[in-house]
Amino acid sequence: MAEETRKQFCVDFQGCSIEVIPNFGDTDRFSPDAPSSGVCFDTRRPTAVHVSNFRPVKRVPWLVEAFLEATRGRDAHLVLIGDGPDQLAARERAREGGGDGRVTFLGERDVLPELLAAADVFALSSSSESFGLSALEAMACGTPVVACAAGGVGEVVTHGRTGLLSPVADRAAFARHMGELLFDRPRAEVMGRAARADALERFRRELIVEAYEALYRRMLERP
């Protein structure tokens, strides 16, 4: 690995050099060129997609509320992929907020690249994330991310370039960001291209494997 590349993963902590190696994404499978055969929503409508296990930390009901706020009086679609303990609460929020026909629950699906590549926005509403692999997979598909700046998400998504980040507790800002990208497709496409390029430049598998190999070599060379 070139020294310039290796330095981007190094930080200094209380005088000790700590090398941080992030997760990688499968940028071959997760690609803007993913086939459209598995897409089950109307791509002509502005569409946001969310993928998770619907645990409380993912805040899917919160996301539904933000989406309804962002799209009030306008035609857009929220596609929720996955299953878990908060699904019933999310369905209730959608029904109470008049989201029938605009919020779709797909359950667990295996065709994630196709669904992510077809979306205009990937929405990540977690209150805590160690990294944000789902956001990276969306970026690899050329889809910009609207997320909360929780945990390691800010290390994956670059605000204003590959997506838009808001404070964890600021649902109004999250909704505003979602609306901005859903209803400004040219801007979303520009961010999507930047997201794909960033995924290739910083998180492709070969780069991360090389970082691990270089680290192991340096450890073995120590006395």
Asked whether 107 and 101 are in contact (CB, 8 A), the reply is: no
DSSP state of 108: S
Residue 82 forms part of a structural domain: yes
Residue 8 forms part of a structural domain: no
For residue 1, give Cα distances in angstroms to 9, 38, 208, 210. Answer: 11, 37, 10, 6
Residue 140 forms part of a structural domain: yes
pLDDT band with cut points at 50, 70 and 90 for residue 12 = low
Average pLDDT, integer, range 3-28: 68
- State the CATH number of the domain containing residue 185: 3.40.50.2000
Residue 3 forms part of a structural domain: no
Q: What is the model's pLDDT at position 4?
A: 47
* CB-neighbour burial class of residue 33 (10 A; exposed 0-12, middle 13-18, buried 19+): exposed
Residue 167 forms part of a structural domain: yes
Number of structural domains the chain divides into: 1
pLDDT band with cut points at 50, 70 and 90 for residue 22 = confident
CA atoms of 91 and 97, how far apart (whole Å): 10
Q: Answer positive or negative: Cα dihedral of 110, 135, 46, 86.
A: positive
For residue 64, give Cα distances in angstroms to 99, 111, 172. Answer: 9, 22, 12
Q: What is the model's pLDDT at position 78?
A: 98
Residue 37 forms part of a structural domain: no
Read off the pLDDT of residues 23-62 as tens digits, 9 standing for 90 and up: 899 999 999 999 888 898 999 999 999 999 999 999 999 9
Question: How would DSSP label each residue in 127-160?
Answer: S--SS-HHHHHHHHTT--EEEE--TTHHHH--BT
Read off the pLDDT of residues 125-183 as tens digits, 9 standing for 90 and up: 999 999 999 999 999 999 999 999 999 999 999 999 999 999 999 999 999 999 999 99
CA atoms of 115 and 5, how far apart (whole Å): 32
Q: What average pLDDT does the structure give for the chain? A: 91
Read off the pLDDT of residues 66-106 as tens digits, 9 standing for 90 and up: 999 999 999 999 999 999 999 999 999 999 999 888 999 99
CA atoms of 170 and 13, how far apart (whole Å): 30
Residue 15 forms part of a structural domain: no
Residue 38 forms part of a structural domain: no
**Which residue range(s) make up the domain with 179?**
26-32+43-203
